[in-house]
A and B are shown apart, each in its own frame.
Chain A
Amino acid sequence: MTILNNSDEIKKSEIELINHHEDYRIFGLIIFLIADGMTFAGFFAAYLTYKAVNPLPEGSIYELELAIPTLNTILLLVSSATFHKAGKALVNQKNDISQKWLLVTASLGITFLICQLYEYFNLPFGLTDNLFASTFYALTGFHGLHVTLGTLMILIISWQTRINGGRISYKNMFPLEAVELYWHFVDGIWVILFIILYLY
């Protein structure tokens, strides 16, 4: 072991040590997201099985419009990019810019939820109308719950990235990284959901 005689170097090594510990948390989060993904996998498997073996009875309505979900897909994909921007800004120690990008991301998430609700209110079928209607609401609703939680977490960390007194800075990246990973995961699930539910 080399003897550290420079205080900056000690600081740097301390940061490295903390980062080393945070690595576990990201790893744990990845395992959690795999578990969460398995819940969605179960839902998708159920939906695809229904599609294969349970034909809709005569006269039931199950039609989906593509306009709003396509807009929603674009919104979420853009929000992933803006979140990435926020992370980059934080690495460069620019908390104010990071905070702005986070707020942009959160507003994209909120827009997504508003669009989703608009779609819900304008669909020609309700939750209990038929099997596919139920599956549609369960899947998009469960995903919407994830987006809601993600948006709330983004709002919290954007408050925590403020310059005076915020907990999150380039020294403590973990909360932002964790939420970013979660957000990308939710986006990825949406893309699969969009393909399976709307396009397939």
Chain B
Amino acid sequence: MTILIDNKTKVKESLQPKGFLRYFSFSLDHKVIGIQYLVCGFLFYLVGGTLASAIRIELISPLSDFLPRDVYNQVLTLHGTIMIFLWIVPVVNGAFGNYLIPFYVGARDMAFPRLNAVAFWLIPPSGLMLIASYFIEGAAQSGWTAYPPLSITTPQSGQIIWILSVLLLGGSSIFGGINFIVTILKLRRPGLKLMNLPMYCWAMLGTSILVVLSTPVLAGTLILLSFDIVAHTGFFNPALGGNVVVYQHLFWFYSHPAVYIMVLPAFGLVSEILPIHCRKPLFGYTTMVFSIMGIVVLGLVVWAHHMFTSGTPPWMRLFFTIATAFIAVPTGIKFFNWVATMWGGKISLNSAMLFSCGFIINFVFGGITGVALAQVPFDIHVHDTYFVVAHFHYIVYGGSVFVIFSSIYHWYPKVVGKILNENLGYLHFALTFIGFNLCFAPQHWLGLNGMPRRVAEYDPQFQFVNQISSIGALLMAISTIPFLINIFISFKKGKIAGNNPWNGLTPEWLTTSPPPVENWEGEAPLVNEPYGYGKDYLSCK
């Protein structure tokens, strides 16, 4: 079977452009698609980061003097949508998933290479469409949640373009999810058992299940919303007999799992990075697998904790509070597993490891505020304040984005063949970590004292803390500069990495750097112990 497919792939590959141009082509190679996802996502990250800087500049003073109020609303909507749908989701799933999963299962490509390329090429046009909507009557103004009736009453064209672009991105996400599930379950190298797979495969399997089950619900909801906007039906319009809470239920049925779609792959990536740089096996492999699957199941039944102030009946509040608190159990298991992996290990504190440690610290902090927010009395107090903003930035930035940077430092030698400069990496980490905590930790205080989110103006008593937060944002903006310099300089003049600079045992390190088109010159290696560090056969080539 393999021979037949391989010949086909070879023929396809010979028709593809070579060299740098292939990154702009409809390439079917999973490695090229992974890089396309990463670079495209990073460009959108720069756009979203610029928007975030605009928000923080606006919030230096209590009055809306930098941006007009409606532009501020557009900027925060675009910032949220771009960062979620065009940066974190495509990068933690699409980029690293496409690059690594075929290596991990011992395949030469994903199950459906063409579908894979289609899934990627849906992203740039929809992202550009979303940004372009700003220049046509203004972008959407209703936040990334697009709650009606606000999304129905604000200018239409921006909101409709927002819906179309999120639908396309959702489609891309579903295609990717189908590809990952089939690849992980069916394309495994003969002899490789599910329970011997590297942890990232399990994380991607769980994520893809969430993507396939929840994204279509968002798509259906947005179709109904577009009917409300264009055809003036009344699904979510109380004036026409509709029900806004139904929208919130359907929206959060996707958007709560979306948090796990953003953070589960990050869990998987950290579980790959920690054992290599600590020279110890991953602690508690089986519990890790079960906690991922537990998060998948629980993640689907906690959505209404975003709606405690939406007239939710008491039984629902009770159920969703308990279910949400339960999620802390598998997440806590994973946290202790990572700490136990590091415990007593021979830790090399390089940039990849620093970012992973930063992730663990930030994520625990975000997790604790998450458990607090799950409690109804507390949530009612801080709902829609900066406390929530601080909480989810600790999860998605302190969690996912830190892991993305950690992974870039970790896998850059494999992809490019050269090691990133460590000193610039330390600088990048220090700026990011200090800037991030300076930016978001004070926002907990702002939220507890009642500063509402998504408003361009605020009470003058909050000015000093907001200025501290803005300084943190400035540091975060500056932190991209050493990173970009590092990427380009190391690309030209970096130290040659060799095939296995970290002495890793997972399959992607057992091929050349950069890997050949078909991943391995000969047969794919059978890796039954991807984390067998500290054992006799440690000496790997």
Contact = CB atoms under 8 A, between A and B. Distances in A.
B5 interface: yes
B117 to A, nearest CB: 15
Interface string A117-161: 000000000011011001100100010000000000000000000
A71 interface: no
Contact of B216 (A21, A42, A138): A42
Contacts of B214: 38
A127 B230 CA distance: 12
Please classify the interface of chain A as helix (H, G, I), strand (E, B), loop, or mixed, using the class held by over half of its residues: helix
Contacts of B181: 31
Interface stretch (B16-24, B28-36, B217-225, B326-334): B217-225
A49 B182 contact: no
A20 B187 CA distance: 11
Nearest to A32: B178
Contacts of B174: 32, 35
B241 interface: yes
Interface residues of B, number: 40
B217 A41 contact: yes
Given A42-B253, A130-B241, A28 B178 contact: yes
B213 A34 contact: yes
A28 B235 contact: no
Interface string B175-187: 0011101100111
A132 B457 CA distance: 41
B231 A128 contact: yes
A63 interface: no
B216 A36 contact: yes
Given A17-B1, A31-B178, A46-B250, A134 B235 contact: yes
Contacts of A50: 243, 246
Contacts of A43: 220, 224
Nearest to B214: A38
Interface string B10-53: 00000000000000000000000000000000000000000000
A21 B4 contact: yes
A54 B185 CA distance: 44
Nearest to A53: B243
Interface in A41-69: 41-43, 45-46, 49-50, 53-54, 56-57, 60
B346 interface: no
Contacts of A70: none
A46 B186 contact: no
A49 B249 CA distance: 10
Nearest to B212: A35
Contacts of A21: 1, 4-5
Nearest to B186: A24
A42 B177 CA distance: 19
Contacts of A14: 4
A39 interface: yes
A51 to B, nearest CB: 11
A45 B216 CA distance: 13
A42 B1 contact: no
B276 interface: no
B250 A42 contact: yes
B229 to A, nearest CB: 13
A127 B1 CA distance: 53
Contacts of A56: 241
A40 to B, nearest CB: 8
Given A21-B5, A32-B174, A131-B235, A27 B182 contact: yes
Given A21-B1, A24-B186, A39-B216, A134 B178 contact: no
Contacts of B212: 31, 34-35, 38
A136 to B, nearest CB: 11
B182 A42 contact: no
B245 to A, nearest CB: 8
Contacts of A53: 243
Most buried by B among A18, A25, A32: A32
Interface string B189-227: 000000000000000000000001111110111011001
Given A50-B243, A131-B241, A134-B227, A38 B187 contact: no
Chain B interface mostly helix, strand, loop or mixed?
helix
B241 A46 contact: no
A177 interface: no
B217 A39 contact: yes
A140 to B, nearest CB: 14
A21 B177 CA distance: 19
A134 B214 CA distance: 23
A18 B4 contact: yes
Contacts of B235: 46, 131, 134-135, 138
Contacts of B478: none
A128 B250 contact: no
B224 A35 contact: no
A85 B80 CA distance: 51
B382 to A, nearest CB: 28
Nearest to B247: A46
B534 interface: no
Nearest to A25: B112
A138 B185 CA distance: 36
Best-buried of B111, B115, B182, B213 by chain A (most CB within 10 Å): B182
A18 B1 CA distance: 7
B118 to A, nearest CB: 13
A43 B235 CA distance: 11
Nearest to B224: A138
Contacts of B541: none
B26 to A, nearest CB: 19
Given A27-B186, A35-B212, A39-B217, A54 B233 contact: no
Given A24-B182, A32-B174, A35-B215, 15 more contacts: A14-B4, A17-B4, A18-B4, A32-B178, A35-B177, A38-B214, A38-B217, A41-B217, A42-B220, A45-B250, A50-B243, A54-B242, A130-B234, A130-B241, A134-B235
The 9 closest A-B pairs by CB, nearest first: A42-B217, A134-B233, A39-B216, A42-B220, A38-B216, A39-B220, A131-B241, A35-B216, A35-B212
27 contacts: A14-B4, A17-B1, A24-B187, A25-B112, A28-B182, A31-B178, A31-B181, A32-B178, A35-B174, A35-B177, A35-B213, A36-B216, A38-B212, A38-B217, A39-B217, A39-B219, A46-B246, A49-B243, A49-B249, A60-B241, A128-B233, A131-B242, A131-B243, A135-B235, A138-B223, A138-B235, A142-B223
Interface of A: 14, 17-18, 20-21, 23-25, 27-28, 31-32, 34-43, 45-46, 49-50, 53-54, 56-57, 60, 127-128, 130-131, 134-135, 138, 142
Interface of B: 1, 4-5, 111-112, 115, 174, 177-179, 181-182, 185-187, 212-217, 219-221, 223-224, 227, 231-235, 240-243, 246, 249-250, 253
